[in-house]
């Protein structure tokens, strides 16, 4: 294996160890020694790849956010290839950011742990801002594309719509994590979250897509 590939593999394994520790025991559990044990490396090797704990945590945080955004991008590409309208694509890809299974519940814990740390760590706060801006930017572009294809009314404020939908996604994620089994009327919490998202997307993407005609 080329040295560069081996280098990146070990860094990825260390980041995954950080994710597991945080998802199970919280951010304080991700010490250099604990990460080394979890990844099966020596402390010295971890310190060889990362100069400090903060460097390791920052790399791990970027990986988890990049992984989430990559999955969303893949689902968007699949929807476009299948010639789905924007509303349907968003309804499929946005729940990827929700803690709907064990792996994504772990991601949620990691994200929330870093969000808490970002209150007093400007570097982590910048990553959080970048990620949030990326999500809002993608939503804003979806609205602008919807205007072009006929799904969205021409006078819709794309940035305002993006902020609203992003806030809705984040708020529902909190509810889904705290009380995943709570019934909402005659629905499960997951069903209710999807219905709420569908209703909001239908408000903005109410027209018929002409893009694939």
Percent of the chain with pLDDT over 90: 81
Task: Establish how many alpha carbons lie within 13 A of residue 181's alpha carbon, considering only the half-sphere containing its beta carbon.
Answer: 0
Task: Establish how many alpha carbons lie within 13 A of residue 193's alpha carbon, considering only the half-sphere containing its beta carbon.
Answer: 25
- Reported as a single tens digit per residue, the pLDDT across 84-127 is 999 999 999 999 999 999 999 999 999 999 988 888 889 889 99
Segment 174-201 shows an average pLDDT of 95
Find how far residue 8's CA is from the centre of its chain.
Answer: 22
Residue 197 has pLDDT above 70, yes or no: yes
Task: Determine how many CB atoms are found less than 10 A away from the CB of residue 175.
Answer: 17
pLDDT at 3: 56
- The confidence band for 212, taking pLDDT boundaries of 50, 70 and 90, is confident
Strand partners, 184: 187
In angstroms, the CA 109 to CA 140 distance is 27
pLDDT at 26: 87
Task: Determine how many CB atoms are found less than 10 A away from the CB of residue 7.
Answer: 12
- The confidence band for 1, taking pLDDT boundaries of 50, 70 and 90, is very low
Strand partners, 187: 184
Give the chain's mean pLDDT: 92
In angstroms, the CA 207 to CA 153 distance is 8
Beta strands in 3-102 (DSSP E): none
SS3 101: coil
Task: Establish how many alpha carbons lie within 13 A of residue 81's alpha carbon, considering only the half-sphere containing its beta carbon.
Answer: 6
**Structural domains of the chain, with CATH:** 1-51 (1.10.10), 53-204 (1.10.357.10)
The two structure tokens encoding residue 162: 């993006």
Residue 6 has pLDDT above 90, yes or no: no
Residue 47 has pLDDT above 70, yes or no: yes
In angstroms, the CA 135 to CA 199 distance is 20
Segment 34-52 shows an average pLDDT of 94
Model pTM score: 0.88
Report CA torsion sign: 165, 170, 174, 179. positive
The two structure tokens encoding residue 203: 């408000």
- The confidence band for 147, taking pLDDT boundaries of 50, 70 and 90, is very high
């Amino acid at each position: 294996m080329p040295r560069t590939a081996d280098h990146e593999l070990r860094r990825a394994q260390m980041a995954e160890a950080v994710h597991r520790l945080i998802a199970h025991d919280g951010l304080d559990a991700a010490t250099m020694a604990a990460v080394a044990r979890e990844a099966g490396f020596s402390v010295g090797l971890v310190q060889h790849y990362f100069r400090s704990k903060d460097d390791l945590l920052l790399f791990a945080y970027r990986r988890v956010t990049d992984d989430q955004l990559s999955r969303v991008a893949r689902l968007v590409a699949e929807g476009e290839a299948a010639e789905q309208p924007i509303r349907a694509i968003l309804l499929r890809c946005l729940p990827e950011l929700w803690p709907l299974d064990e792996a994504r519940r772990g991601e949620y814990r990691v994200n929330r742990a870093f969000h808490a740390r970002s209150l007093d760590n400007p570097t982590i706060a910048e990553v959080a801002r970048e990620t949030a801006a990326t999500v809002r930017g993608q939503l804003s572009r979806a609205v602008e594309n919807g205007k072009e294809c006929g799904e969205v009314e021409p006078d819709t404020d794309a940035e305002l719509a993006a902020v609203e939908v992003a806030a809705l996604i984040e708020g529902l994620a909190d509810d889904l994590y705290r009380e995943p089994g709570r019934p909402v009327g005659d629905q499960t919490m997951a069903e209710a979250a999807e219905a709420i998202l569908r209703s909001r997307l239908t408000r903005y993407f109410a027209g018929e897509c002409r893009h694939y005609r």
